[in-house]
A and B are shown apart, each in its own frame.
Chain A
């Protein structure tokens, strides 16, 4: 099966600019996750979708970050305006979303550098 796709792979912006990331999960996966991974740390969940509904966005900085999952398939994550501390790798993952403990499948990530 095709894996999770993300674009762009790299992005460099200046602080206060806006940026958007795109994710296409594995076909048929109901659950989609966005993680932020700062250098030297493990992935931190930003937002989790079940189909096109948000089930957890408790760690999403909602004053500047937003995400949507149209039609329960693709998803976009936006940062507006960006800060220096947003420099990180943004990972998208998906899972079947069945009951129980699913394996998560990860995309290659988008490396964001904020100058």
Chain B
């Protein structure tokens, strides 16, 4: 079955430190991977998707099909990066399906 695993519930770093939020998925076909973010008191929103290969707010994520991973990285964390991050896997079976991981809370301290 399709599944997304985010092994860390909480990741706490200091401002300026590198950040890596881990995401592993299980899917045998060609997946589309997303990172969604929820800042405090805001709604869940798309951060980035692997197909666009963009860097958003300094974050990047590379799809590694061999390791079935899609880790989110940022070289220098900022306090405003503190939020809940969800990795999501999407595929199409006649219509689009999306499954979320359990999320990782990133806390960036000054």
List residues of chain A with CB under 8 Å of any chain B CB. Answer: 3-4, 31, 33, 40-45, 48, 50, 55-56, 91, 93, 95, 100-109
Contacts of B88 in A (CB 8 A): 42
Question: Is A40 a contact of B95 with CB atoms below 8 Å?
Answer: no
Annotate B18-42 by CB proximity to A: 1 below 8 A, 0 otherwise.
Answer: 0000000000000010100000000
Question: Is A42 a contact of B100 with CB atoms below 8 Å?
Answer: yes
A91 CA to B45 CA, complexed, in Å: 12
Question: Is A43 a contact of B100 with CB atoms below 8 Å?
Answer: yes
Question: Is B49 a contact of A91 with CB atoms below 8 Å?
Answer: no
Q: How far is the CB of B51 from chain A (nearest CB, A)?
A: 7
Judge if B86 is at the interface, Cβ distance under 8 Å: yes
Prevailing SS type, chain B contact patch:
strand
Judge if B11 is at the interface, Cβ distance under 8 Å: no
Annotate B46-77 by CB proximity to A: 1 below 8 A, 0 otherwise.
Answer: 10010100000000000000000000000000
Q: Name A50's contact: one of B34, B95, B99 (CB within 8 Å).
A: B95
A104 CA to B88 CA, complexed, in Å: 11
In the complex, how many residues of chain B place their beta carbon closer than 8 angstroms to a beta carbon of chain A? 24
Q: List 6 A-B contacts (CB under 8 A).
A: A42-B103, A45-B97, A55-B95, A101-B49, A101-B90, A107-B43
Closest to B100 in A: A42
Contacts of A45 in B (CB 8 A): 97-99
Q: How far is the CB of A24 from chain B (nearest CB, A)?
A: 14
A40 CA to B103 CA, complexed, in Å: 8
A86 CA to B23 CA, complexed, in Å: 28
A50 CA to B96 CA, complexed, in Å: 10
Judge if B92 is at the interface, Cβ distance under 8 Å: yes
Q: A50-B95, A101-B90 are in contact. Are A91 and B51 (CB under 8 A)?
A: no
Q: Name B44's contact: one of A55, A91, A102 (CB within 8 Å).
A: A91
Question: Is B102 a contact of A41 with CB atoms below 8 Å?
Answer: yes
Question: Is A109 a contact of B43 with CB atoms below 8 Å?
Answer: yes
Question: Is B49 a contact of A42 with CB atoms below 8 Å?
Answer: no
A93 CA to B86 CA, complexed, in Å: 15
Q: How far is the CB of A61 from chain B (nearest CB, A)?
A: 18
